[in-house]
Amino acid sequence: MAKRHKADARPTIAQIAQAAEVSVATVSKVLNGRVDVSPPTRERVERVIKEYGFTRHRPAHSPRKGKTGLVDLVVPRLDDDFFFPILEGVEQVLKEAGMRLVLSTTDYAVEQQLQWLEMEKERPADGIIFVLPSDDVIEALSRHRLPFVIIHKQGGTPPTVPSVSITSWDGGFAATNHLLALGHRRIAYIGKNVYAMDGIERFAGYRTALEVANVPLDPALQREGEFSATDGYIATRELMALEDPPTAIFAGNDHQATGVYRALYELGISIPSIVSVIGFDNLPFTELMNPPLTTVQVPRLELGRIATTMLLSLINQEPLNMRRVILPTRLIERQSCTSPTGK
């Protein structure tokens, strides 16, 4: 069994879980006296707790006297399948901890987000996981008495705010660099006006890849558009009407890419022999598109699981080893990209 290296270093729940070879959720159950832990597992966890000299930190002034066993998860919408694996990841960890999920939506509206936070004060849970909060909401959460973790964000994130996000810049760079490596130089991007930080970062990755390759930045190839199929469709019709249209289109997300496909189909433009297309997120339907879509993998299940594991540590009043966790993205190559005609 692992030993602590520093006698004066206070162990965390994560360290206890690692030493006992169990999940953080199981340690949380033992600490909270839950009965749904097998006797051998409980004995092993308690033995490690004793060996590590673990004591639970209690702040001098705690406004909460009891626990509800509930965790709030706030997402923008439920009609966007991007959020489903995040929800699943949160639910998995909460089930392991014997806790329940309360789900709310805010439709990307700052007013609804702030209104939800005010309503939450009337029925407080043990903690909050907030997906894509605005700067105003992050500030309000920081003043809130409940522990919270955010997933992605609309603006900046103070270093003290516990958060989980992805390497969006790396994903944008990798996607664009893939098209450059195939020989494309007229590469369009759709979604440059998206306000969420991960959207801003993937657009920045696109621009940087072009700059590194000494490919001139053409504003005509940088199209606005929300992350929707409709905006992908509209932007593609505009792009292909240019005197010098793109040979490749980088859609800001996979939903946009479906709009790109539809527009190119209506125009009689073949994918990828005439125009290559690449997306972002790796949603399940992308494998079924014709041709299957090259895209960037986002570890959405892990976003939910890690955020919830962090929140459980905060609920148990334990410091976090890392307050900002950034998960890697990965390019998924399929059949929607090839070298431009004549290469």
pLDDT in tens, 233-282: 999 999 999 999 999 999 999 999 999 999 999 999 999 999 999 999 99
Among the residue ranges 105-109, 252-256, 289-293, the one predicted with the least confidence is: 105-109
Instruction: Work out the mean pLDDT of the chain and round it to a whole number.
Output: 86
Would you state the pLDDT for residue 248? 98
**Model confidence at 100: pLDDT above 60:** yes
Same domain, residue pair 235 and 323: no
**Model confidence at 113: pLDDT above 90:** no
Would you state the pLDDT for residue 5? 43
For the chain, where are the alpha helices, taking DSSP H only? 13-20, 24-31, 39-52, 84-96, 110-120, 135-143, 168-181, 197-212, 229-240, 254-266, 300-315
Same domain, residue pair 214 and 274: yes
23 is a domain residue: yes
Same domain, residue pair 162 and 87: yes
284 is a domain residue: yes
Q: How far apart are CA 28 and CA 25, in angstroms?
A: 5
Q: What would the DSSP string read from start to end of 62-76? A: -S--S--SEEEEEES
The pLDDT-based confidence of 229 (bands split at 50, 70, 90) is: very high
Which is more confidently placed, 300 or 48? 300
Same domain, residue pair 198 and 282: yes
Same domain, residue pair 227 and 140: no
Q: Count how many domains the chain has.
A: 3
Same domain, residue pair 206 and 217: yes
Which is more confidently placed, 240 or 53? 240
234 is a domain residue: yes
Would you state the pLDDT for residue 37? 76
**Model confidence at 119: pLDDT above 90:** no
Which is more confidently placed, 234 or 316? 234
Please classify residue 321 by burial: count the beta carbons closer than 10 Å to its beta carbon, then call 0-12 exposed, 13-18 middle and 19+ buried: exposed
Q: How far apart are CA 110 and CA 338, in angstroms?
A: 41
Would you state the pLDDT for residue 62? 38
Same domain, residue pair 176 and 291: yes
The pLDDT-based confidence of 9 (bands split at 50, 70, 90) is: low
Contacts of 57 (CB under 8 A, 6+ apart): 10, 317, 318, 319
CATH value at residue 111:
3.40.50.2300
Q: Calculate what percentage of the chain has a pLDDT beyond 90.
A: 55
The pLDDT-based confidence of 107 (bands split at 50, 70, 90) is: confident
Would you state the pLDDT for residue 264? 98
Q: Tell me the residue range of the domain where 200 lies.
A: 168-298
Vertex 329: Cα angle to 320 and 324 (nearest 5): 20
**Model confidence at 10: pLDDT above 80:** no
5 is a domain residue: no
Prediction pTM value: 0.78
Do the Cβ atoms of 292 and 243 come closer than 8 Å?
A: no
Same domain, residue pair 274 and 304: no
The pLDDT-based confidence of 36 (bands split at 50, 70, 90) is: low
**Model confidence at 64: pLDDT above 90:** no
User: Which residues, in sequence order, are bridge partners of residue 129?
Assistant: 73, 149
Would you state the pLDDT for residue 60? 34
Same domain, residue pair 193 and 291: yes
Please count the residues of the chain. 343
Which is more confidently placed, 153 or 180? 180
Same domain, residue pair 158 and 76: yes
242 is a domain residue: yes
Would you state the pLDDT for residue 342? 55
Would you state the pLDDT for residue 15? 76
Which is more confidently placed, 318 or 55? 318
The pLDDT-based confidence of 65 (bands split at 50, 70, 90) is: very low
Which is more confidently placed, 155 or 117? 117
3 is a domain residue: no
Same domain, residue pair 130 and 180: no
What average pLDDT score do residues 209-232 get? 94
Q: Strand, coil or helix: what is 185?
A: coil
Same domain, residue pair 93 and 153: yes
Would you state the pLDDT for residue 265? 97
